[in-house]
């Protein structure tokens, strides 16, 4: 197994910084262990010495208790956070990828690593308070309690305040790793940002993404190169395009939109088709997990039981089932928006190609298989028209992010694309 940073694509500077921090964290633990040995039998004073040693994280030495990983979608924010968590739990302090600490962390089973992946549109205060409370406990493995929060930009204001209090007064052996698109106040609060070290990640080059697809996933080099370019540096999307025929079909349908926009009616038809495709993709991705969750909960609450009180128990569980349905609905909404956003990114890539061709810019197209269509569009629309269409797609993404109804945002976009 390669070391834990092997899949962090095109982020050499970040890897160097994280390796240095993991080594500094390991040195802090060694200093704490030395203090305990020197103190003799375990006593209150010895434990205080250990807490002082492990709590004195010196940012100038490369390690601190709170981090924010920023970067565009697909840059590897969550990959970097998980790899760093594994390096902190590594018995060698390097992220070797071979020791139990590395393996269990990367596998998601380490007892001292808490991973928060929001299933819905936000992370609530109740979930955050429970997480902070558990994170304050002593590490069972003797190293660190690590809290990884993916999509920290989805924290509600109350959840952010609960997290802020923990970051301001951190337990001696707890490290917080947050992932967000940027440090803008819309993504992460200024007060949380001021107490964290920021690790900026960049969009990895297509060549680096293709190399990972070939090495890790066994994908043919030519397919890997095409998928990496079409995904615009997004590692997960590139893997999906390379391995999933359905994903390729959905992409082809999206890239056929520009030639379908022949009038107002066609624009609304294209909007409906795009929304319905996103809904179908989202439903397919969550149906199995929703069914399994409901069946498990009903079984736990006594469904199917024949003993005394079984029927009464399931009747009294209506509130829990309703809460589950609420969470599943929120997860489905997010899945739909994620699917729609992937389609909009592909569409933006098409108009970006038209713009670069209209400007005769010496850059490779994103979508090599629709380069001829983009070239025809560039001749028809010229640079200004191509730019307006690209801006319309980006405006649609921003509107959906701001909670505008997806159908309304997409219909407005399609009309703007038709009008030019």
What pLDDT sits at residue 47? Answer: 39
Which uninterrupted H or E stretch holds 68?
strand 66-70
pLDDT tens across 268-301, in order?
999 999 998 888 888 877 777 777 777 776 677 6
Q: With pLDDT > 90 as the criterion, what percentage of the chain qualifies?
A: 46
CB 321 within 8 A of CB 339: no
Over residues 20-39, the mean pLDDT reads 75
Closest by CA to 223, choosing from 206, 203, 202, 205, is 206
What pLDDT sits at residue 193? Answer: 94
Over residues 178-184, the mean pLDDT reads 92
pTM: 0.76
CB 347 within 8 A of CB 253: no
pLDDT tens across 215-243, in order?
888 999 999 999 988 888 788 888 888 99
pLDDT tens across 64-102, in order?
999 999 998 888 899 999 999 999 999 988 899 999 999
pLDDT tens across 134-145, in order?
888 888 877 899
Mean pLDDT, the chain, rounded, equals 85
Helix/strand number for the chain, H first, E second? 17, 5
What pLDDT sits at residue 306? Answer: 56
What pLDDT sits at residue 41? Answer: 47
What pLDDT sits at residue 61? Answer: 56
CB 160 within 8 A of CB 192: yes
Closest by CA to 380, choosing from 258, 292, 269, 284, is 258
Between residues 420 and 41, the one the model is more confident about: 420
What pLDDT sits at residue 374? Answer: 93
Helix axes 406-419, 371-401, angle to 10 degrees: 140
For the cut 70, the answer to whether the pLDDT of residue 359 exceeds it is yes
What pLDDT sits at residue 148? Answer: 94
In angstroms, the CA 179 to CA 182 distance is 9
In angstroms, the CA 401 to CA 160 distance is 19
Q: Which of 38-52, 95-109, 372-386 has the lowest mean pLDDT?
A: 38-52
CATH superfamily of 12-29+63-200: P-loop containing nucleotide triphosphate hydrolases (3.40.50.300)
- Domain map (residue ranges) of the chain: 12-29+63-200, 264-294+323-419
Over residues 357-363, the mean pLDDT reads 93
pLDDT tens across 9-20, in order?
889 899 999 999
For the cut 80, the answer to whether the pLDDT of residue 324 exceeds it is no
Over residues 9-32, the mean pLDDT reads 89
Most confident range (mean pLDDT) of 46-50, 59-63, 180-184 is 180-184
């Amino acid at each position: 197994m390669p070391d834990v940073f092997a899949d962090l694509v095109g982020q050499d500077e970040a890897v160097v910084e994280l390796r240095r921090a993991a080594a500094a964290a390991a040195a802090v633990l060694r200093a704490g262990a030395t203090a305990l040995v020197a103190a003799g039998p375990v006593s209150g004073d010895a434990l205080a010495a250990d807490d002082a040693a492990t709590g004195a994280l010196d940012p100038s030495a490369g390690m601190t208790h709170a981090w924010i990983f920023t970067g565009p979608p697909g840059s590897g924010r969550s990959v970097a956070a998980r790899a760093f968590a594994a390096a902190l739990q590594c018995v060698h302090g390097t992220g070797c990828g071979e020791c139990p600490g590395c393996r269990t962390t990367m596998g998601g089973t380490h007892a001292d690593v808490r991973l928060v992946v929001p299933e819905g549109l936000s992370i609530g205060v109740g979930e955050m308070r429970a997480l902070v409370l558990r994170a304050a406990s002593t590490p069972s493995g003797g190293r660190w309690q690590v809290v990884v929060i993916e999509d920290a930009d989805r924290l509600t204001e109350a959840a952010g305040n609960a997290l802020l209090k923990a970051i301001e007064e951190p337990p001696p052996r707890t490290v917080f790793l947050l992932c967000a698109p940027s440090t803008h106040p819309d993504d992460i609060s200024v007060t949380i940002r001021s107490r964290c070290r920021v690790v900026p990640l960049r969009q990895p080059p297509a060549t680096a993404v293709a190399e990972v697809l070939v090495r890790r996933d066994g994908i043919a080099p030519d397919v890997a190169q095409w998928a990496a370019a079409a995904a615009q540096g997004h590692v997960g999307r590139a893997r999906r395009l390379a391995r999933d025929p359905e994903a390729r079909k959905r992409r082809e349908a999206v890239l056929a939109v520009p030639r379908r926009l022949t009038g107002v009616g066609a624009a609304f038809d294209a909007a409906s088709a795009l929304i319905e495709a996103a809904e179908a993709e989202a439903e397919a991705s969550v149906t199995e997990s929703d069914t399994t969750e409901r069946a498990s909960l009903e079984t736990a609450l006594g469904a199917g039981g024949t003993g005394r009180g079984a029927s009464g128990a399931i009747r009294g569980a209506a509130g829990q089932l309703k809460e589950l349905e609420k969470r599943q609905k929120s997860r489905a909404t997010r899945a739909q928006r994620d699917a729609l956003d992937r389609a909009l990114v592909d569409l933006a890539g098409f108009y970006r190609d038209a713009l670069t061709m209209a400007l005769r810019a010496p850059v490779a197209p994103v979508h090599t298989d629709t380069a001829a269509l983009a070239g025809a569009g560039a001749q028809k629309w010229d640079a200004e028209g191509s730019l307006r269409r690209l801006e319309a797609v980006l405006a649609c993404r921003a509107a959906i992010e701001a909670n505008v109804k997806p159908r309304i945002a997409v219909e407005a976009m399609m009309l703007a694309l038709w009008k030019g």
